[in-house]
Every structure is written in C-alpha cells, then in structure tokens.
Amino acid sequence: MFPKIPNIPKWGFVSGRISALEANFLPREFFMGIIAQECIDDIIPHLQETFLGDYLTPGTVWEDFSTLADRCFHDMVISIRNDCPSTIPADIFLLQSDYLNLKNAFSGAATFAFPMGTLGHEKLSAIAHGDFADLPGSVTEAGGFGEGEIYEVFPGVIDIFLDGAYLRHLLSLAQELESEMIRTYINDKVLASIVIILWRAVKQGIQTKRYEQYLLPLGDFTSVITELTGIQNPETWQAAIGGVIGDLFAESIELEMDDQISGFELRATNHLTRIARDGKSQTAGPERVFSFLSGFFVEMQNLKLVVTGRLNRIDQSLLKQRLKDCYV
C-alpha cells in the first residue's frame, strides 16, 4: 500500500524486541478454538501461553477478565514506550484511557478508573479541582471551551466535547511523526469515529447540530462533520464520507438495522489492521512500533470478545462474526 518505509537505526533496540514479541501473536484459529469450548475451565490452559498468562493468577475472577486484558495492554504499551526514542507511537494508544479519566476529572472525581497514560494522577486531580493549567491543547482548542464556560457546557455534552478533543489529539500526534502509514491509519480512524459518533446520535434521535458545535474544530474533517450533521438520513451519507471509509459505510448500511453500526465498526477495524500490517516490513522505526501495538490492541479485543462471550453464553456463531481480523 505504501512505498518502502525507511529504516531508522535508533529504533533498532525496541524493534528487535518487537520482532521477538510478535512470535507470540495468536492466529484466528486460536480464537475459534476458544469459542468452541463449552466449559470455561477448559479455556484456562489455552490462555496460559498467551500474553495474558502472567495475569491469570490462581483465584482470578473471570468477571474481571476485561479489566485484566486492559491492564495487560496498558502494561505492554508502557513497557514498549520506555524503549522508544520517541514516545508518540505509544502515546497514541494511551490516549483513550487518558480521555476516559479526563471525563471523571471534569466531574470532580477523586479516583480514576482507567490506567494512567500521558496524564498522571497529579494532573488529573488538579483538573478535578478546577485547575486547568495542564489540560491538553486539544481540549482548550475546542469551540465550546472558554474561561468559566466549561461548567455550563459540560453537563449535557461532555462526551461530545471530549470525543472531539481525543480525535484532535490523535491527529496532532500523527502529524508530529511525519509517517505516511501512521497518518493514513489515524486519518481513517478519525473519519470512522466521526461516522460512528454521528450515526449513533441519529439512531438515538439526537439533533446532530449539537455535535457540530462541540466536536469541532477537526482540521480537514471539519467540512465532513458540517455536511453530515446537515443530513439527517444516514442512507445518503456515503458521498460526504468518501474514500474507503465511505465504501465500508455503504456496505454496512445494507445490514440489518441492529447490526449496521457494529458491522461498520468491525469493517473499519479490519481496514485499519490491514494498514498497520505494512509496518511489519520495516526493520526499525516508529511504524514498526505502531504496527505492533495496533496488532496487540486487536488481539486483546479479540480475547475479551471470545472469553467474556463464552462466559455469558453468547451464541458461538455470533462471536465468530464479531471476531476482528488478526494481525498475523
């Protein structure tokens, strides 16, 4: 998909470590095997040899499995981050928990449920107490943000506001790296996220013009948001979305009503995985790190899907349909 990605020697150590770690990635057949297990106790031996093996201590409460998987992912990102010449490839994968913690901080919470990323406890606590000096620029750039205004805006639209800030932050980090592959990945991820946010709003009967006010500005995607929020019938959105994401949207709109958004999310995730795989060809560099973390994230998501799915007796055929394409 992309021209040959140049190698950058200073990334050699962390890239060598990644080469070794990638040997432990799980193929699709592994997840199919988990889905086929009828007894939850039969799943444990299969998980011992995965990245999650060290987290499954005696007495593990299965209901906490998603939390264990999230912690495993977070720990890996932090570990890889410590070996990188630039933290940006890892920071991209820490942002989601940062912004979930920010939501708690704006509500005045004293504790934060999600693993700490680029925002530590001290900064989050300060924000919770009304000190906004350490807010990311992506938050303060929002159209609805202003001195004193934040308390009026947030009760009804905090999710929209922080969604916009999160997507802005992703775009900013991708721009700093100056990597065509990573920039393409993030651009498509942001566009897919915009579609999902607005599509859910329409299905819930929410006026999307509110989203235009608080999601913006979003660089090149500002015009897309403006156009989509002016069209209340999603069936005519494809032209405004455009490109590969528009094509995936067109496929998804043909699904059963209840499956449309989840079907689009799955298609978009698989598309992003295909982009990320291009980084595997790089011997050393930020793309190599980014690709690995992208694949690792998908693996943890698949593990959460199949294990919690079997715990909750979700139909096996449905789990197979929802399984994301593996990195390997």
Helix H or strand E segment including 237: none
| Both structure tokens of 271 | 């598309």
Over pLDDT 70: what percentage of the chain?
93
Amino acid 8: pLDDT: 87
Q: What is the distance between the terminal CA atoms of the chain, rounded to a whole angstrom?
A: 17
Amino acid 62: pLDDT: 66
Chain Cα centroid distance, residue 4: 26
Q: pLDDT of 123-176, one tens digit each?
A: 999 988 888 888 888 888 876 565 445 545 555 678 888 899 999 999 999 999
| Better-scored residue on pLDDT, 227 or 134 | 227
- Number of Cβ within a 10 Å radius of residue 98: 23
Residue 94's nearest CA partner among 289, 275, 258 is: 289
| Better-scored residue on pLDDT, 78 or 154 | 78
What's phi and psi for 84, nearest 5 deg? -95, 140
pLDDT-based confidence at residue 46 (cuts at 50, 70, 90): confident
Mean pLDDT, rounded, for 4-18: 89
Amino acid 313: pLDDT: 86
- Number of Cβ within a 10 Å radius of residue 108: 10
Furthest-apart CA pair in the chain: how many Å?
56
Amino acid 148: pLDDT: 46
Mean pLDDT, rounded, for 201-218: 86
Q: pLDDT of 237-262, one tens digit each?
A: 999 999 999 999 999 999 999 999 99
Three-class DSSP category at 256:
coil
Q: pLDDT of 291-315, one tens digit each?
A: 999 999 999 999 999 998 888 888 8
The mean predicted confidence, pLDDT, of the chain is 89
How far apart, in whole angstroms, are the C-alpha atoms of residue 22 and residue 303? 16
Amino acid 322: pLDDT: 93
